[in-house]
Structure 1
Amino acid sequence: MYISKPQHYQDGKSVNRAADMNILIVNPNSTQSMTEGLKPLLADLASANLSLHFFTAPSDAPPSIDDARTSALSTSVTFSALQSILKDARSSESTDVKIRYSGYLVACFSSHPLTPLLRSRTTAPVLNIFEAALLHARALAMPFGIVTTGQYWEAVLENGAKEFFSGRDVDNATTSPATDEINVAGFVGVRSTGLTAAQLHLTEREVVDRRIADASADLVGQGARAIILGCAGMSGMEDAIRVGAQRHGREVRIIDGVRAGVVLLEGLVKTNAV
C-alpha cells in the first residue's frame, strides 16, 4: 500500500529540514493532485520558523469525500495510516533530524470525524478547514455564505455551521432544538456547484468556473459580503467567486479555509509556546 510521505514545502520547492514549528496538512482522500495543488497556494505562509508538511491518504481511501460513507471510510483509512506519525517524533526521509508536528490541519471542508480522533491522540492543536473558515468568517463580522461541491453538502454544512456556533448537536432531536430554530448571525447559507471534489479538477475549467460563479452570485444576492470556499479543491478558484459577485456589482471577501487553518494553527502554537 502506497502512503505519500509528509513533505515540507517552501518557496516553491520541497525541502528536507526541521523548523521551530511544523504543521502537518492532512488530505484525507487519496487524490494526490489535490495535495499537490495546495503546495504553491500555501508556500508564502512558510518561513524560516514555520515548515508546512503534507500527507495524502493511501490509495484505499476514497478519491473524493462526497457523503457520510466516504467520510467514514476516509477517516478509518487515514487514521490508520497516521499511527506512526502520531508518535512523539518521526524521522524525516533523508536526514536524522526528528520532526515534531506542532499542529495538524485536516484538509476536508466538513466536521470530519478524523478531527476528534487526532485530538484524542495528540496534545498538539488540531483543526479542520471547515472550523478554520467559520472562525475567520465570524471574525470579519459581515454576512457570509459557503460555496461547496455536491448538493449533499448543503444541508450537512448548514447544520454543521449552526452546531459549531451554537455548541449544540442539531442532529439530536431529543436534546437539541430543530435546525431551523438555530440562527447564526450573518450566516446566509450554503450553495452547491453540483460537482464532487474530484470533478473540480477533472471537469473543463470553464464549466467549473461558471458553476462556482452561479453559486456565489446566489449567495451575494442573499446579502453575503464574504464567501467561503467550501472545499480544499477550490483553493485557487477565487476569480470565479469574484465573477459571481460582480453580477450584483459587488466585491466580496473570500475565505480559504486551508490558508485560514495554517494561520490559526500557527497562532495557537505560538500562544501556547513555553
Structure 2
Amino acid sequence: MKILLVNPNSSEKVSRNMRNVLSPPESVNLDTYTAPDSSPREITGIETSKQSETVVLEDIKNRRIAEEYDGFIVCCYSDHPLIKSLAALSNKPVMGIMQATLLYALSNPNIQKSFILTSTSGWEPLLDQGIIDFLGVDGFPAKKFQKTIGLDIAVTNLANEEEYGKIREKVRFILGHQYKTDNIDCVLLGCAGMAGLNSKLGADFPGVFFIDSVEIALELLIGLIRFSK
C-alpha cells in the first residue's frame, strides 16, 4: 500500500516534522510531498487555502503523481478544497486531517466532549464552521464539541521546544478555567504543525485524550483504502 502525505504549504520543516512522528505499518509505504515554493509558506485562511490548492493540484496533475499512490492525506487542518479536488482527480481515497479527528471524537464512546486547539485565532470561526459543515447540521453541535481556540503561534513554530511551555500553560488555563465546566476529555490538535505534541501534552494532562491529526488520519485512511479494493 502506497500513501502520500500531502503538505499543501511550502514549508519543508512542517513536512519533516509530520513524517518523523509517524510509524506506519510494515505493509505501508509512506512518502511525503511538500508544495512547490509558489504555494503559501503558511495557510492562514480561505484565500491561502485556494492558492495552495491551485498550485498543488496543478503540480500533482502535471507530474502524474496521483497514479503512483493508493491514497492521500491532505495535511492542512481545515475544510481544505484540495481534499475534494484531489479525490476527483485521482478517484482514490483522500483523508483530511481535520475530518479524521472529528470522526475519531464522534466514534470513541469513551469521549464526552472535545474542542479543537489550533495555531492562530484567525482559524477559530473557520474551524467551528468546518465542524458544522462536516456534520451537516444547522448549528454548532455543543453537546459533543466546544468552540475552537487558537494559540496564536505560527504553524512553522508549533513544534519548537521553546514554544511548548506556552502551549502547556494555554491548555492548563482552558481546561482549568475557560472550559472547566464542560467535561472536556479530548483535545483535537488542529494543525499539522502540532504533530508530536500529543505525547507531551498527554503526559502533562493525564486523563485527557490529545489526538494527533496526522496520526489518526493515517490510520483511518489505511482502512478506507482496504475497503475501497
TM-score (normalizing by structure 1): 0.75
Counterparts of 1:39 and 1:88, CA distance in 2:
19
Residue of structure 1 in register with 2:43 after alignment: 65
Structure 2 gaps of 5+ residues are none
Offset at residue 220 of structure 1 (A): 5.7
Q: Does 1:24 align with 2:19?
A: no
Counterparts of 1:253 and 1:133, CA distance in 2:
11
Residue of structure 2 aligned with 1:147, choices 117, 141, 151: 117
1:127-150 deviation digits (Å, cap 9, x = unpaired): 110111100111113211110111
Q: What pairs with 1:224-235 in structure 2 (closer than 5 Å)?
A: 224-235=184-195
Contact 1:29 1:57 in 2 (8 A): yes
Residue of structure 1 in register with 2:29 after alignment: 51
Which amino acid in structure 2 is aligned with residue 207 of structure 1? Answer: K
Which stretch has the larger CA shift, 119-128 or 200-209? 200-209
Find the structure with the greater CA-based Rg.
Answer: 1
Residue of structure 1 aligned with 2:86, choices 112, 118, 138: 118
Offset at residue 251 of structure 1 (A): 1.5
Q: What pairs with 1:1-274 in structure 2 (closer than 5 Å)?
A: 21-42=1-22, 44-47=23-26, 49-86=27-64, 89=67, 100-141=68-109, 142=111, 143-165=113-135, 167=136, 177=138, 181-183=139-141, 185-201=143-159, 204-205=162-163, 206-215=165-174, 217=176, 218-219=178-179, 222-239=182-199, 241-242=201-202, 245=205, 251-273=207-229
Offset at residue 84 of structure 1 (A): 3.4
Q: 1:130 to 1:231 in 2, by over 3 A?
A: same
1:43-98 deviation digits (Å, cap 9, x = unpaired): x2231x21111100011111111122211211111111111354663xxxxxxxxx
Counterparts of 2:199 and 2:103, CA distance in 1:
23
RMSD between aligned alpha carbons?
Answer: 2.2
Aligned residues with identical type, % of pairs: 27
Q: Which has the higher contact order (CA 8 A, sep 6+)?
A: 2
Q: 1:215 to 1:34 in 2, by over 3 A?
A: farther
TM-score (normalizing by structure 2): 0.88
Counterparts of 1:25 and 1:114, CA distance in 2:
13
Counterparts of 1:25 and 1:85, CA distance in 2:
16
Q: Secondary structure at the match of 1:83?
A: helix
Q: Secondary structure at the match of 1:45?
A: coil
Q: Secondary structure at the match of 2:187?
A: strand
Q: 1:56 to 1:213 in 2, by over 3 A?
A: farther
Counterparts of 1:213 and 1:241, CA distance in 2:
10
Contact 1:66 1:197 in 2 (8 A): no
Q: 1:79 to 1:130 in 2, by over 3 A?
A: same
